[in-house]
Structure 1
Amino acid sequence: MSTESTPVELASLADKRAAGFGLEAPFYTSPEIYEQDLDLIFGQHWIFAVAEAEIPDPGDYVTVDLGPHSVIVVRDDDENVRAFRNVCRHRGSRLLGSGCGSIGNIVCPYHQWTYRVDGSLIFAESQADTFEYDKFGLKPVNVRAVGGLVFLCLADEPPADFDEVSQLIEPYLKPYGLASAKIAHQTDIVEEGNWKLVMENNRECHHCDASHPELLTAYFPISRYEAEDVPPRLQQVYERYLEAQTDLEKAREVIGFPNGDICQLEGKATGFQISHLPLDGAGASFGPDGQQLCAKLMGSIEDPRFGDLSLHMQPNSWFHFLADHAVVFSVIPLAVDRTLVRTTWLVNPEAVEGVDYSVESLTSVWRATNDQDRVLVEGTQRGVTDPGYVPGPYSEVEGEVDAFVTWYVQRVQANA
């Protein structure tokens, strides 16, 4: 763990960060600052954990590891989402060792203390008659399901603004029916880079036209440009984007979908952004030239040409919701220079693999994009460890990277 001087060092470095510039090398390379990130960021804020679709039935669970913390996210017998410390109240044994599964009760493998999926203790062998079962239930963790997405917070007093954020987000998510969706596929990759570099890379598409050819068959690389900033080489693409944006606005009106983007990426504990952008080509999905990938649409969506509803949540997640499927991303730090990126594809619960969709086609674009991003992040990690690295200024189209770094610095200053 960190030394006594580390919080002061971290706060001092945060205070030195120049507005509009990147972070200094220790933010990406220092084991002590990494430990502080686990404490101040992942230990104090709402973290995206799983999609509700990963735990569809009572007894279904997923374990989430955040540094030294392990959390069980489980659906109880009343179909509520619960979260508990993955630690037995007897002698501290880890309760569930696998990443996911289904159980009737939670049974400690050491001495068989047994808990219901609501966390209550129901069996503890050889205890005195005066033993009070109700005092030794599993330790709960703050958990919230928002529109089919499950967030947890390890802090005793989580950021209070999450209620406000939830109310803003849920109307956008509701039409997609995420809570009752089906998991079509899930992949894990480990990127040899600091978690902040993973998030920074995601927060811009400045690199997309050079690095993501598969993604650009459907995804406009100029959605964040103002008209006067579009470079000549992208002018025709920008005009096509404006036409698609007009069609998307009409599709929203038909079903009464919320109109207007929301950007609150900094200045508050629970930073987020939600935006609804058209897709290129056929405008339906991430298939070749924007073609639809699943025959059955999500939730109550009626028009396949419904673009990409994109949600960014600080500090560890981003999401893409389309008419025919959703793609959910979570970022979990593993070490100062190693990060787990988990990608989950969701489809309509009635969609049949091999009939309505193929896993290969559904996942092709983002599997390629994830691998391309992995290479970019790993190259940047090598660069920031070089003695010649000096933080540079962000471009005019990297505002969301600046917002992420600004949010991070603000949260460090607030909690250090």
Structure 2
Amino acid sequence: MQDGMRISNKKTLEVEQALLSDEEIRRQAREVLYKNMISGRKAGFSYHYTKPSPGTYPFQYFWDTCFHVFMLSSLGEEKMAKEHLRSLFQMQRPDGFVGHMSYWKRLWPARVTDLLQLRPRDVLRLYKPHMSALVQPPIVAQAVLRVFRNSNDEAFLREMLPKLKKYYKWLAENRDFEGEGLLSIITPFESGMDWKASYDPLLGYDRGKAGPLLFWKVLQVDAHNFLKGYDLRAIYKSNKFVVKDTAFNTIYAQNLEAMAELCRLAGDEEGPGFLQKASQTEKSILSYMYDEKDAAFYDLHGHQFQKLRVRTGTVFFPVVLKGVPDNVCRTVLERHLLQKGGFQTPFPVPSLAVDEPAFRPGESLYIWRGPTWVVFNWFMQGYLLERGYRQEAASLLYSVKQLITRSGFREYYDPFTGEGHGAEEFTWSGLVIDMINRQIKAEEHV
């Protein structure tokens, strides 16, 4: 299993001495974070967050904020990490909901699609801070747990736990439509992976490479939700776009377990309930999403849980879950990640298998359809280290170091050439500093 990934990297290695040092990568990552950081007060709210990039993504985004927390914690900036999390929950609704975008200083949405991601009533309130009507992968419990483990700040834990409990209960009550422990998203933008190719069949898009028609197909989904007033029951009944995304639900299961741990640390009696929910979600992921023939976990759509059989970079995400048997994990990894299974490129991990019709590795408005994003490597490296695949984990880290050395901190990269594309000074690539810390820690415990 080890040779496949190592050989793929060796084919395109430059002289190792040319790589940026770990300290230089940390310095540059810190610089990007601070350059994009913003704080202030507006209409009685205090905000403090990091823009993913200076111009392209100016707002506070939900899972981006959590990534920034992991980065800040890796740099020892716990105070700053706490302020980011407090800001994220500043506008939490009484029912627990937190939107995927918080509009603070710049109140007018950047794109027409952003306008359609507001509740109709909120469009009339663009002059003051507001949130979108959508959600994003719920990775925040892990972010809070990371901060607590690094700071041992019990007051911060007690401050955040009630907010987190309300948030995860809102998700369970409002997005687990069938009671199976699987959450549904109602637009491609909620997965955090805009234009993900696995949604094409559901959208009625069969042209492979993305084009303007796909844009209008997705826009129709958001327009439909807007016209429904974001009434979730009505949206579910219409069944236009109801998707159980593999990555979204894997992260949900992980964070239910993190919630159980936070409750334990706080002496809160609700911990076992979160563990029970996590177990149900993991069982449903294995039961409904796993395809034994393809050795892949697929996204699902509709009321009948139909598999969207497109091999995106999330087909192996659920291997990180404790409820997935070891033999399934090994089979999936060997088929798709560690050997030649469509995801072996000089700079892994591509966001779509290279032999899928929609694969497009270069610059495009329609992202997540081929390029490599650092977040995939970050996500899988942690699991590989836990399971003893140290060499494979090191290969993922090495690839990211190459990308940053060649192209800087970019939104995404060509998986064949390493050329950077999309937004510049993009913070997500700073997850490399967490990868570096994890790899060092793992090697110290050999």
Select the structure of larger CA radius of gyration. 1
TM-score, structure 1 normalization: 0.24
* Structure that is richer in helix per residue: 2
Question: Larger relative CO (CA 8 A, sep 6+): 1 or 2?
Answer: 1
TM-score, structure 2 normalization: 0.23
* Structure that is richer in strand per residue: 1
